[in-house]
A and B are shown apart, each in its own frame.
Chain A
């Protein structure tokens, strides 16, 4: 069964106080999706330093190749570690809400779709907070 209804201009953020849980889930999923595809391009760009590193066995063994020094240089920056925590939060939310969307598409638990959105948020927060010590190991301001 399909039915249409006038939901107004859904991209009008001036109406944010009227947004339902499903609408927020849609906005967050879209936002985190944009972040993740942007990151994927950046990720491959950084990892491309392996092209310059490959073949130089002496530098690889000494861990002074451009790939290793680039990655470890970035990992030595506190800002990068913070961004990694942000990336984890974005990825975890996108995964959990994605699972929720798969359930919605399958028609499973439709009556609880708002609660599962709140659960996705809470679980994302918990996993992110719990991972902070791991992500900030060995770096200082």
Chain B
């Protein structure tokens, strides 16, 4: 069998969710990069232009979903990498708590930012 390296326990819930979010992120991250660097250029971004994109509800929802899945995927990856390094017991619980708080904070702030961009707030 081919040698296979992973920080995850194959078959676990976190492993599965990491794969599901990955499949979504592959498409949306490529779209995001393409739209904001090749169709529109980052150096030409203005609040007016951002607002025009974010006023489209489908785009807004896609970006918020993008934020949620990217945050989960990233933080879940970090957590598993740390567990893989041998994190255990109280330290493991403390790291998990910090990562959960950071994730919730990031998603909340990002969603708030998205709503200000769309003009809803």
Contacts from A to B (Cβ < 8 Å): 1, 3, 7, 10-11, 20, 22-23, 25-26, 30, 33-34, 36-37, 40-41, 44, 47-48, 50-51, 53-54, 60-61, 63, 65, 67-68, 71-72, 75-76, 84, 88, 91, 95, 98-99, 101-102, 104-105, 110-111, 113, 131, 134-135, 137-139
Contacts and interface: CB of A to CB of B under 8 A. Distances in A.
A117 to B, nearest CB: 11
A51 B22 contact: no
Contacts of A63: 46-48
Nearest to B38: A134
Contacts of B121: 54
Secondary structure call for the A interface: helix
B19 A102 contact: yes
Interface string B6-19: 11001000000001
Nearest to A25: B5
B70 to A, nearest CB: 6
A23 B5 contact: yes
Contacts of B41: 134, 137
B37 A68 contact: no
Interface string B95-121: 000000010001001101100110101
B26 A111 contact: no
A56 to B, nearest CB: 9
Nearest to B107: A44
B80 to A, nearest CB: 10
Contacts of B30: 95
Q: Name which of B23, B47, B48, B71 has the most chain A CB atoms within 10 A of its CB.
A: B47
B109 A44 contact: yes
A137 B43 contact: yes
Interface in B1-58: 1-7, 10, 19, 22-23, 25-26, 29-30, 33, 37-38, 41-43, 45-48, 50-51
B113 A33 contact: no
A57 to B, nearest CB: 10
A131 B106 CA distance: 30
